[in-house]
Amino acid sequence: MSTVFSKSVPGREGVWPDLPKTAPIDFIPAALLRDGDAGLPSLSELDVVRHFTALSRKNYGIDSNFYPLGSCTMKYNPKFTEEVAALAGFARLHPLTPQLPGGGDMSAGSLEVMYEMERCLCEITGMAAFTLHPMAGAHGELTGALMIAAYHADKGHKKTKIICPDSAHGTNPASAAIAGFEVVTIASKDGIIDPAALAAVIDDETAAVMMTVPNTLGLFECHLPEIVALCRKVDALLYYDGANLNAILGKLRVGDAGFDVVHLNLHKTFATPHGGGGPGAGPVGVSERLIPFLPISRVQKDDAGRFSLSYDHPKSIGYVAPFYGNFGVVLKAYAYILRLGREGLIRVSEAAVLSANYMRKRLADAIEVPFNRVCMHEFVASAAKLAAEKNVRALDIAKALLDRGYHAPTIYFPLIVKEALMFEPTETESKDTLDTFVADLLDILALAETDPEAIRACPTTLPVGRLDETYAARAMEITDDL
């Protein structure tokens, strides 16, 4: 399909404002003005609508396809929350408003949402306080790592390293490195953190241990109490990557369990849409001892019930966002929490974990599940045997699933399972959908034995087949002009 630029016809009218009475050159010297125009498209409204409607049809989304993408929690995104975020009172509020004299009252509704959302997230996780500022999960990790650094600096500690298990999300070590820490990786044992391996490397220079529960294999970290004790001994902080919170709502609160810093992905557990790669939101919660280091500003409520922002927190790490985070995303998540309430959120995790285990059981006879025991909200299978015997790899199975109208599971992650396929059905998919999917996947696995070439040729039903990524990296055609 040709690009929108190649469809441009000079002179075609779009959604234009009236002609101005003056030109920029009446106010700004020619030397400060642009030579020639920007070369942006000239199209009719219908041209644009057709183009983007056609593009949308080349995408799989949750609304059109089952999306069992492990680690990403691709649950249904309720529609009413979109309308809530679009309410003019929220969408049109300028972020500088509360910084004006009397501006707190002018933005009272938004400040109240932020305040109440922080309270909700505290209750859900058992943390003492939250900031809503981080604009994505990885941004939350960075915010957490900066707070960890500030905490230790404040106590006069010389801490240089952060420990991550080998099953960690790739952003964990990347965020720790950007906050100035050296990253130490420890090997898992039986799919979970091995306390002996942790004990061997944890020392006075350890600032924190970053982990996720359940971990990226979908397994509960059974040695959690020992890990907490090991951290306490050297005053290392324990960091929780909330990517997998969907498994434990109402079943485990990380604050109660001894974590000091957590980030949540509102676009996972709290059902805000992923948008093809953002925007997300990555609020961070802390235990009591880290409260002084939270980013500014912080929202507060006075005795009269009035909301305002406070900036006077001398130990704060400072600003991590231009304003108060991705407020539009926070709004949707807040509406979702109100809608489901206490019982609803507990049911989310129960149904998510049940569905994952059901799928695991139904598939375990046909494909190897390396840690085939009760899992949480996701599980990891391995195509290593098929790869060795039939040269059908995880990637090939993923492409065959695309052909049957499913988004593929996460593949080649976590790194510690060969030919990994990571499935996360989420609670919003019905048993019927899971059954149909399992039947199709079993069919693909059977076909891989008898006609592996057919699987390696997938996908054949989509707008394009497998694309030449080597050419893309070499040719570097990254705009219409290069």
Partner 1 sequence: MPYIPHTPEEVREMLDVVGLPDIEALFAEIPPALRPQSFDLAKGMTEMAVRTAMERLAAKNHIEMVSFLGGGYYDHYVPAASDMLLARGEFYTAYTPYQPEASQGTLQAIFEYQTAVTRLLDMECSNAGVYDGGTALYEALMMAVRHTRRKKAVVSATVSPIYRIVLSTYTKNLHLDLVVVPHKNGLDDFDALAAAIDGDTAAIVVQNPNFFGNVQDFTELFATARAKGAVSIMSCYPVLQTVLKTPGAMGADIATAEGQSLGLPLSFGGPYLGIMTCRKTMIRQMPGRIAGRTKDAQGRTGYVLTLQAREQHIRRQKATSNICSNQALCALRALINVCLTGNEGLTRQAARSIENANYAAWKLCSIPGVSLLNEAPFGNEFAAVFPVNAKKVVRMLMDDGIVPGFPLGRYYPGLENALLICCTEKHDRADIDRLARRLEKAL
Among 66, 113, 131, 231, binds partner 1 (CB under 8 A): 113
- Residue pair 217/417 in contact (Cβ under 8 Å)? The answer is yes
Stretch that binds partner 1, among 284-292, 384-392, 399-407, 443-451 (CB under 8 A): 399-407
Q: Please tell me whether the peptide bond between 24 and the residue prior to it is cis, using omega within 30 degrees of 0.
A: no
d(CA 437, CA 433): 6
In angstroms, give the least distance from the CB of 259 to partner 1: 11
107 binds partner 1 (CB under 8 A): yes
Please report the sign of the dihedral spanned by the C-alpha atoms of residue 400, residue 402, residue 406, residue 411: positive
32 binds partner 1 (CB under 8 A): yes
78 binds partner 1 (CB under 8 A): yes
Of 38 and 450, which CB lies nearer to partner 1 in the complex structure?
38
- Residue pair 249/214 in contact (Cβ under 8 Å)? The answer is no
Q: Are strands 206-211 and 161-165 parallel, antiparallel or unpaired?
A: parallel
439 binds partner 1 (CB under 8 A): no
- Angle among Cα 291, 293, 296 to the nearest 5 degrees reads 100
Among 84, 117, 193, 264, binds partner 1 (CB under 8 A): 84
18 binds partner 1 (CB under 8 A): yes
155 binds partner 1 (CB under 8 A): no
Q: What are phi and psi of 208, to 5 degrees?
A: -165, 160
Among 238, 263, 427, 437, binds partner 1 (CB under 8 A): 427
Interacting residues with partner 1 between 340 and 369 (CB under 8 A): 340-348, 350-351, 353-355, 357-358, 361-362
Interacting residues with partner 1 between 275 and 314 (CB under 8 A): 275-281, 295
In angstroms, give the least distance from the CB of 328 to partner 1: 4
Question: How many C-beta atoms surround the C-beta of residue 426 within 10 A?
Answer: 25
398 binds partner 1 (CB under 8 A): yes
Stretch that binds partner 1, among 64-72, 194-202, 298-306, 439-447 (CB under 8 A): 64-72
251 binds partner 1 (CB under 8 A): yes
Q: Output the CA torsion 362→365→367→370 (10° steps).
A: 90
158 binds partner 1 (CB under 8 A): no
Q: Record the tokens describing residue 242, joined without a space.
A: 């909330």
d(CA 398, CA 288): 44
Q: What does the DSSP 8-state code read for residue 214?
A: S
Of 392 and 425, which CB lies nearer to partner 1 in the complex structure?
425
402 binds partner 1 (CB under 8 A): yes
Among 302, 312, 365, 481, binds partner 1 (CB under 8 A): 481
139 binds partner 1 (CB under 8 A): yes
Q: Where are the alpha helices (DSSP H) in 156-203?
A: 171-178, 195-201
Among 70, 104, 137, 414, binds partner 1 (CB under 8 A): 137
Residue type present at position 417 = V
93 binds partner 1 (CB under 8 A): yes
Rounded to a whole number, what is the largest CA-CA distance in the chain? 76
Interacting residues with partner 1 between 185 and 244 (CB under 8 A): 220, 222, 224-225
Q: What are phi and psi of 210, to 5 degrees?
A: -105, 130
In angstroms, give the least distance from the CB of 315 to partner 1: 13
399 binds partner 1 (CB under 8 A): yes
Q: Record the tokens describing residue 354, joined without a space.
A: 């049940």
In angstroms, give the least distance from the CB of 188 to partner 1: 16
The answer for residues whose C-beta is within 8 angstroms of residue 17's C-beta and 6 or more apart is: none
In angstroms, give the least distance from the CB of 449 to partner 1: 24
d(CA 414, CA 168): 8
In angstroms, give the least distance from the CB of 443 to partner 1: 19
Question: How many C-beta atoms surround the C-beta of residue 317 within 10 A?
Answer: 22
Residue type present at position 105 = D
Among 261, 337, 394, 417, binds partner 1 (CB under 8 A): 337
